[in-house]
Amino acid sequence: MKVQNNKAWLMVLPMLLLVAVSAIIPLMTVVNYSVQDTFGNNEFFWVGTEWFQEVLASERFHNALQRTLLFSALILAIEIPLGIAIALAMPRRGIAVSFCLVLMALPLLIPWNVVGTIWQVFGRVDIGLLGHGLASLGIDYNYTQNTFDAWVTLIIMDVWHWTSLVVLLCYSGLVSIPEVYYQAARIDGASRWAIFRFIQLPKIKRVLLIAVLLRFMDSFMIYTEPFVVTGGGPGNSTTFLSIDLVQMAVGQFDLGPAAAMSLIYFLIILLLSWVFYTVMTSLDNDAASEQGRH
Amino acid sequence: MLRLANIARRVDSHNALQDISLELKRGELNILLGPTLSGKTSLMRVMAGLDRPDSGELTFDGESVIGVPVQRRELAMVYQQFINYPSLSVYENIASPLRVAGLDKQEIEARVAQAAQLLKLEPYLNRKPANLSGGQQQRVALARALVKRASLVLLDEPLANLDYKLREELRAELPVLFAELGAVLVYATTEPSEALVLGGKTACLNRGRVEQFGPTLDLYRDPDTLMAARLFSDPPLNSLALSRGNGGLRFAGAEQALPAAVTAELVNALPADEVESTLTLAVRGHHLRLGSDVAHASEPSARESLIEIRGTVDVTEITGSESFVHFTFMGQPWVALLDGIHAFPGGAAITLYARPHDCFLFNTQTGKRVRKLSGGE
Amino acid sequence: MASIHLKNLGHRYAASDAGSDNPYALNPLDQVWEDGGAYALLGPSGCGKTTLLNIISGLLRPSEGRVLFDGEDVTDLSTERRNIAQVFQFPVVYDTLTVAENLAFPLRNRGMESTTIEARVAETLTMLGLEGRANERARSLNADDKQKISLGRGLVRTDVRAILFDEPLTVIDPHLKWQLRTELKKIHERFSHTMIYVTHDQTEALTFADKVVVMNAGSILQVGTPEQLFDRPRHTFVGTFIGSPGMNVLRCTFDGEAAVVDGVKLPLDEATITAAHARGLATSGVSLEVGVRPESLLVVGAGVNTDDDPHCVRVDVLGVEDLGRHSLVRLRLGNQLLCALHPEGAAIPEAAALRFDPARTLLYANSLLVEANG
Query: Could you read off the pLDDT of B28-68 as tens digits, one per residue?
Result: 899 999 888 888 888 998 888 888 888 888 888 888 888 78
Chain A CB contacts of C57 below 8 Å: 187
Chain C CB contacts of B192 below 8 Å: 324
**8 Å CB contact of B133 and C203:** no
Residue C374 lies in a domain: no
Range of B280's domain?
238-371
Choosing from C240, C256, C279, the residue where a domain stops is C240
> Number of A:C CB contacts under 8 A?
58
Query: DSSP letter at C98?
Result: B
- Reported in sequence order, the residue ranges of chain B that DSSP labels E, i.e. its strands, are 2-11, 14-24, 29-33, 55-60, 63-64, 75-78, 152-156, 184-189, 201-206, 209-215, 238-245, 248-251, 279-283, 289-290, 307-318, 322-329, 332-339, 349-354, 360-363, 369-371
Chain A: give the shortest CA distance to residue B186, in Å.
22
What per-residue confidence (pLDDT) applies to B247?
A: 64
Chain B CB contacts of A1 below 8 Å: 50-51
Same domain, C195 and C320: no
Is the CB of residue C246 less than 8 Å away from at least one CB of chain B?
yes
Chains with 3 or more CB pairs under 8 A to chain A: B, C
Is the CB of residue C61 less than 8 Å away from at least one CB of chain A?
no
- Distance, in Å, from the CA atom of C82 to the CA atom of C232, rounded to the nearest integer, reads 36
Chain A CB contacts of B51 below 8 Å: 1-2
Residue B334 lies in a domain: yes
- Distance, in Å, from the CA atom of B263 to the CA atom of B304, rounded to the nearest integer, reads 10
- Distance, in Å, from the CA atom of B218 to the CA atom of B210, rounded to the nearest integer, reads 16
Residue B271 lies in a domain: yes
Choosing from B225, B258, B291, the residue where a domain stops is B225
Same domain, C88 and C213: yes
What total of structural domains would you count in chain C? 2
Is the CB of residue C350 less than 8 Å away from at least one CB of chain A?
no
pLDDT tens per residue, range C234-266: 999 999 998 888 899 999 988 888 888 888 888
pLDDT tens per residue, range A98-132: 899 999 999 999 998 898 898 888 888 888 888 88
A93 pLDDT more than 50: yes
Smallest CA-to-CA distance from A180 within C168, B358, B167 is with C168
Interface of A with B (CB under 8 A): 1-5, 293
What per-residue confidence (pLDDT) applies to B302?
A: 64
Same domain, C149 and C249: no
Same domain, C356 and C285: yes
What residues contact A145, with CB distance under 8 A and at least 6 apart? A234
Residue C86 lies in a domain: yes
Residue B232 lies in a domain: no
Q: Which long-range contacts (CB under 8 A, 24 or more apart) does C325-333 make?
A: C325/B286, C325/B337, C328/C245, C328/C294, C329/C299, C331/C299, C333/C250, C333/C261, C333/C262, C333/C264
**8 Å CB contact of B376 and C201:** no
Chains with 3 or more CB pairs under 8 A to chain C: A, B
Q: Are strands B29-33 and C219-224 parallel, antiparallel or unpaired?
A: unpaired
Helix (H, G, I), strand (E, B) or coil at C276: helix
**8 Å CB contact of C226 and B197:** no
Chains with 3 or more CB pairs under 8 A to chain B: A, C
Same domain, B191 and B250: no
- Decide if C276 contacts C368 (C-beta within 8 A): no
Chain A: give the shortest CA distance to residue C189, in Å.
24
Residue C338 lies in a domain: yes
Same domain, B168 and B281: no
Q: Which one of B46, B52, B66 makes the best mutation probe of the A interface by having the most chain A beta carbons within 10 Å?
A: B52
Residue B326 lies in a domain: yes
Same domain, B211 and B268: no
Domain ranges of chain A: 58-291
Same domain, B142 and B263: no
Is the CB of residue A94 less than 8 Å away from at least one CB of chain C?
no
Residue B330 lies in a domain: yes
Choosing from C191, C211, C240, the residue where a domain stops is C240
Same domain, B323 and B354: yes
- Decide if B280 contacts B239 (C-beta within 8 A): yes
What per-residue confidence (pLDDT) applies to A292?
A: 43
* Residue B364's CATH number: 2.40.50.140
What per-residue confidence (pLDDT) applies to A1?
A: 42
What per-residue confidence (pLDDT) applies to A168?
A: 94
pLDDT tens per residue, range A28-38: 888 888 888 77
Q: How confident is the model at residue B376 (pLDDT cuts 50, 70, 90)?
A: very low
**8 Å CB contact of C178 and B235:** yes
**8 Å CB contact of B165 and C241:** yes
First-to-final CA distance of chain C: 34
- Reported in sequence order, the residue ranges of chain A that DSSP labels E, i.e. its strands, are 36-38, 44-46
Chain C CB contacts of A202 below 8 Å: 94-96
**8 Å CB contact of C88 and A292:** no
* Residue C138's CATH number: 3.40.50.300
- Distance, in Å, from the CA atom of B354 to the CA atom of B251, rounded to the nearest integer, reads 14
Same domain, C230 and C253: no
Residue of C nearest to A191 (CA): C109
Chain C CB contacts of B191 below 8 Å: 174
What per-residue confidence (pLDDT) applies to B197?
A: 87
Neighbours of A3 (CB within 10 A): 13
**8 Å CB contact of A293 and B52:** no
**8 Å CB contact of C322 and B35:** no
Choosing from B204, B225, B246, the residue where a domain stops is B225
Query: DSSP letter at B134?
Result: H
Residue of B nearest to C246 (CA): B165
Same domain, B187 and B117: yes
pLDDT tens per residue, range B140-196: 999 998 888 888 999 999 988 888 888 888 888 888 888 777 889 999 998 888 898
Smallest Cβ–Cβ distance between C95 and the set A183, A184, A202 belongs to: A202
Chain C CB contacts of A206 below 8 Å: none
Element holding C319 (H helix, E strand): strand C312-322
Smallest Cβ–Cβ distance between A1 and the set B51, B68, B69 belongs to: B51
- Distance, in Å, from the CA atom of A267 to the CA atom of B377, rounded to the nearest integer, reads 76
Chain B: give the shortest CA distance to residue A6, in Å.
10
Residue of B nearest to C184 (CA): B315
Same domain, C219 and C179: yes
Residue C130 lies in a domain: yes
| A223-237, A246-260, C204-218: range with highest mean pLDDT | C204-218
Q: How confident is the model at residue A294 (pLDDT cuts 50, 70, 90)?
A: very low
Q: How confident is the model at residue A293 (pLDDT cuts 50, 70, 90)?
A: very low
Residue B87 lies in a domain: yes
Chain B: give the shortest CA distance to residue C290, in Å.
20
Residue B64: exposure state from Cβ atoms within 10 A (0-12, 13-18, ≥19): exposed
Could you tell me the CA-to-CA distances from B60 to B30, B214, C211, C244 in Å, in that order? 15, 20, 54, 38
Written as one letter, the residue type at A5 is: N
What per-residue confidence (pLDDT) applies to B300?
A: 60
Q: Which residues pair with B205 in a beta bridge?
A: B210
Chain C CB contacts of A289 below 8 Å: 140
Residue of C nearest to B285 (CA): C325
Within 13 Å and on the Cβ side, how many CA atoms surround B60? 20
Chain A CB contacts of C143 below 8 Å: 292, 294
Is the CB of residue C110 less than 8 Å away from at least one CB of chain A?
yes
H, E, C per residue of A222-238: CCHHHHHHCCCCCCCCC
Same domain, C184 and C282: no
Could you tell me the CA-to-CA distances from B163 to A176, A274, C47 in Å, in that order? 26, 48, 12
**pTM here?**
0.80
B293 pLDDT more than 70: no
Smallest Cβ–Cβ distance between B376 and the set C46, C230, C345 belongs to: C345
**8 Å CB contact of C243 and B217:** no
For residues B372 and A241, the model is more confident at: A241
Smallest Cβ–Cβ distance between A184 and the set C92, C96, C171 belongs to: C92
Is the CB of residue A293 less than 8 Å away from at least one CB of chain C?
no
Chain B: give the shortest CA distance to residue C278, in Å.
30
Same domain, B21 and B121: yes
Same domain, C209 and C281: no
- Distance, in Å, from the CA atom of A17 to the CA atom of A7, rounded to the nearest integer, reads 16
What per-residue confidence (pLDDT) applies to B299?
A: 60
Same domain, B218 and B147: yes
φ, ψ for residue B144, nearest 5 deg: -65, -35
Q: Which CATH class is domain A58-291?
A: mainly alpha
Residue of B nearest to C206 (CA): B319
**8 Å CB contact of B69 and A5:** yes
**8 Å CB contact of C95 and A290:** yes
Residue B233 lies in a domain: no
Low-confidence ranges of chain C (pLDDT < 50): 16, 18-19, 374
Same domain, C234 and C263: no
Same domain, B242 and B191: no
What total of structural domains would you count in chain B? 2
- Distance, in Å, from the CA atom of C46 to the CA atom of C52, rounded to the nearest integer, reads 11
Residue B124 lies in a domain: yes
- Decide if B168 contacts C80 (C-beta within 8 A): no
Range of C163's domain?
4-240
B252 in the Ramachandran plot: left (φ > 0), alpha (ψ -120 to 50) or beta?
beta
Is the CB of residue C197 less than 8 Å away from at least one CB of chain B?
no
Note the ipTM here.
Answer: 0.80
* Residue C256's CATH number: 2.40.50.140
Same domain, B179 and B252: no
Q: How confident is the model at residue B72 (pLDDT cuts 50, 70, 90)?
A: confident
Smallest CA-to-CA distance from C213 within C224, C204, C227 is with C224
pLDDT tens per residue, range B87-133: 899 999 999 888 888 888 999 999 899 888 888 888 888 888 888 88
Choosing from C195, C218, C240, the residue where a domain stops is C240
Residue C269 lies in a domain: yes
* Residue B199's CATH number: 3.40.50.300
Choosing from B225, B246, B270, the residue where a domain stops is B225
Q: Which one of C175, C212, C297 makes the best mutation probe of the B interface by having the most chain B beta carbons within 10 Å?
A: C175
Smallest Cβ–Cβ distance between B69 and the set A1, A4, A293 belongs to: A4
